[in-house]
Chains A and B, each alone.
Chain A
């Protein structure tokens, strides 16, 4: 039987506010344990929540970016469960009236086609703390720094059909929240987390199969692997005549398998009810429009503009707009160098390769945009050849000095002096009489070889156009 997967993603992003969702405690990643856990965050009796203005603004901004309905009246609810990293015994979230309603985003697939994936909703909620189960003489250690940190949980429609689409969706969300500057969205640090719901059904069927939920996935690559492994597991179960059990499974990236999590008893019975300590939040059109006015150019729009304004291919435009930093870097190089195509080639080629090789973020690159633009200018004004450009680029990775200084001090300047080139050409003609004769007999292809020899003699510094022209003239 041919199977088809039905996948939905629940993505949590930490909103990059200064303080927590309901208290004025600092909310910065990586602080010493429990130094960002005060009386409210520890659920001391008598403390009351007050909603952070920024968290609401960020949620609305996200909603506008995905063309979602914005809840003009949102209501917070309590989700009740007992766990030591949740001191109140409930998580404050939004159940029936979330701040962000139905929206959608567009993903690009490898074959160049596009798909819209629906977003069911995005609600504001507070994070729980962290439990450490390493050995604290038989006890668990609790760090409540994360407790009460603002999260936006973004729930997709079950419209994703395979692991690649899931990754594309996740990457698009990642790009959007970073463009909006509402979250760092670093999966490895937990500021973007992803739970995946997967079920399979026979292809063409409209009924949904039993789904499982995969947790503990902390990189884009593992999302793809985890989904593929779960689809395969469900297929095996069904093809062996078994049934898929609705359960939560923890993905183990090292072994590429998942195993059922020992479920908390009646875990799904959270007994939600409206949070009596918070009033409904009301916002109006003026508020929403003021936020809309602050929306930056988003990845899709930027990519389309790169194609029309700079004549880039869809592929290059997509790569260059994957992050806001990369897009800004490219635009600076394109504008300062005056050559967008060369800028795109250098950024997606040599620069990207250097970043990958050294495991650098763009911000860590020793070659910042203005330096790369200067290098391109020197290629364009024939100070150096394109080939020497690569040598200069390599040197720039090691040497922070000015591009012109690097070219000068390493003697990489292109030889355009016709006297110097003439002597090179004469030398080549003298050394290769056989090939020269072949050329004179009409064998055009030999010219390439002779130009190559001259370039070699000049250590790549001769202007290849001039060499070519002079060789022809001399051999006529």
Chain B
């Protein structure tokens, strides 16, 4: 399966990655190589194999529903570039 430059641009946009014009050819080639490997893997007959959701053969531990964190807003907001009335301020988002 080939991967063209437009698709690289789209994926980069989705991931908010900046890829310079000169890098695009190289990245396109590398992704195409990875997809070739995936094609190769997909040619293996896996009908009898259940899909693997996680490589480790262990399961999730659960947490009691108890509050273990305290309010550290003042301390945490010192890390933020700008805050107002307890809110973190970010460049205006318009939906």
Contacts and interface: CB of A to CB of B under 8 A. Distances in A.
Interface of A: 17-19, 23-26, 32-40, 42, 50-56, 73, 75, 80, 82-84, 96-97, 131-133, 136, 138-144, 261-262, 264-266, 269, 271, 274, 276, 278-282
Contacts of B21: none
Contacts of B5: none
Interface string B72-95: 110011000010111111111111
A269 B10 CA distance: 10
A139 B71 contact: no
Contacts of B71: 35-36
Given A133-B94, A261-B95, A37 B73 contact: yes
Given A18-B66, A34-B86, A144-B88, A131 B93 contact: yes
A122 to B, nearest CB: 18
Given A32-B86, A279-B59, A281-B60, A97 B53 contact: yes
Contact of A52 (B10, B59, B63, B92): B63
Contacts of B72: 38-39
Given A141-B87, A281-B60, A82 B16 contact: yes
A18 B60 contact: no
14 contacts: A19-B66, A33-B86, A39-B76, A51-B62, A53-B62, A55-B65, A140-B90, A142-B88, A142-B90, A276-B54, A279-B54, A279-B60, A279-B61, A281-B60
Contacts of A39: 72, 76
Nearest to A22: B63
Contacts of B68: 19, 24
Interface in B1-57: 10, 13-16, 51, 53-54, 56
Contact of A139 (B13, B69, B92): B92
The 9 residue pairs across chains A and B that have the minimum distance between CB atoms: A24-B68, A141-B87, A54-B65, A33-B86, A53-B62, A279-B60, A75-B53, A139-B89, A50-B63
A26 B67 contact: yes
Given A83-B93, A140-B91, A279-B54, A269 B59 contact: no
A140 B92 contact: yes
B63 A37 contact: no
A36 B68 CA distance: 12
A50 to B, nearest CB: 4
Nearest to A15: B65
A17 B65 contact: yes
Contacts of B56: 279
B87 A53 contact: no
Contacts of A131: 93
B76 A37 contact: yes
Nearest to B61: A50
B65 A53 contact: yes
Nearest to B77: A34
